[in-house]
Structures are given as C-alpha cells and as structure tokens.
Amino acid sequence: MLIESYELQIQVSPHSSEKFEYEAIAYLNADIGAALPYLNSTLSRGIYLPDKTVLSWRHEGRNIGFWANRIAVDNLESREEAREVVDHLVEMVNQVWAKRHELEPDTTTHPRLQPLELYRLLPQTNCGACGEETCFNFALKLVAGQVPLERCTVLFEQPAHEARREQLTSLLSTKWPAL
C-alpha cells in the first residue's frame, strides 16, 4: 500500500459567504509523485503538470489536487463528508498504484476544456432561461464548474438537441475510474 496514513486538516472555505463550505487537505505519510502519471492515464479530464508534480481533477463539482505529499479537495458540505471523500481519494491512489504494472503511465498535460468547445454545442439562442445573458456566459461558467448543464432547460426539453446534449454530457463527465 502506497499511502498508509495521513493527517487531515479541514477548514471553512474562505470563498463561501452564504453557507458553510469546507476544504480538506490530507498530508500523506508517503510520496505519491511517482503515482501521478498513472493517475493521469486513469482519470478523465485530469490536468497533470509534471514540472510542478501536481495533478488537478474536477469531480462532482469539487476541485481536487494531488501533489507528491498531499491531496486537497474543496466544496465539501461537512467535516464528515470531508473525511469520507478524502478516504475515497486515498483508496483510489492506492488502487491505481497497486495496478500500475497493468497501466501505461501518461506524463503529458492534456488540454483544458475550452468554453468555445461547449458554446458550439449549446443552442446559441441567448434566451436567458439558464440565468445567463448569453450562451457564451453559460459556457464560461460550465467550464469553470460553476453551473450544472441541466440549467440550460432548452437543451433538455427540446428533442432536437438530444445529440448536442449527449456530446456536452460526455465532454463534461469525469467518471470515477473503474479499477
């Protein structure tokens, strides 16, 4: 097992004003730098920066950072959830490391999703139903993970947009790896 233990620090997010959100940092007892290329080949839409030894990943509305000596995650609702999510992430790193001989390490930096890629698939009517003035504003918030795709009701209510909806869902999906 790569990570045997960690020390967890949980704090209230400085960004939250209306409700409590928590951020967690797990300081690891192990150096996971060598595991990051394997995580990079396993996680969908992770951004690996080899020169900084960091891999960032968005999953279920949370920003997650893997460094050689720590894992950080934000947008947590409670201290209990923080512990649960960090436990899952540590388990995932350990599983990837255990299976590294079956995986191809990937040291490339995958391109970030661009707002224009999403905008091209949106209905482009600027109807405002999502609460944004334009579809491009919505695309900017989508790429930053600040709004769910479902807020574009036009996309979900009109059958003509089914193919676009599926493409957008696939582009935005970051599934937990099947290990």
State which residue, 32 or 122, has the beta carbon closest to ligand SF4. 122
Among positions 138, 141, 143, 147, the unique one binding ligand SF4 when judged by CB under 6 A: 138
Site string for ligand SF4, 63-102 (x = CB under 6 A): ----------------------------------------
DSSP code, position 84: H
Q: How far apart (Å, rounded) are the C-alpha atoms in residues 35 and 97? A: 6
Per rule CB under 6 A, is residue 128 in the interface with ligand SF4? yes
Per rule CB under 6 A, is residue 125 in the interface with ligand SF4? yes
Among positions 3, 118, 135, 143, the unique one binding ligand SF4 when judged by CB under 6 A: 135
The tokens for 26 are 């797990």
Q: How far apart (Å, rounded) are the C-alpha atoms in residues 114 and 97? A: 30
Strands 70-76 and 22-28 turn out to be antiparallel
CA separation, residue 169 to residues 21, 27, 143, 158, 174 (Å): 26, 33, 12, 16, 10
Minimum separation from the CB atom of position 19 to ligand SF4 (A): 25
Segment lying near ligand SF4 (by CB under 6 A), choices 4-12, 86-94, 98-106, 121-129: 121-129
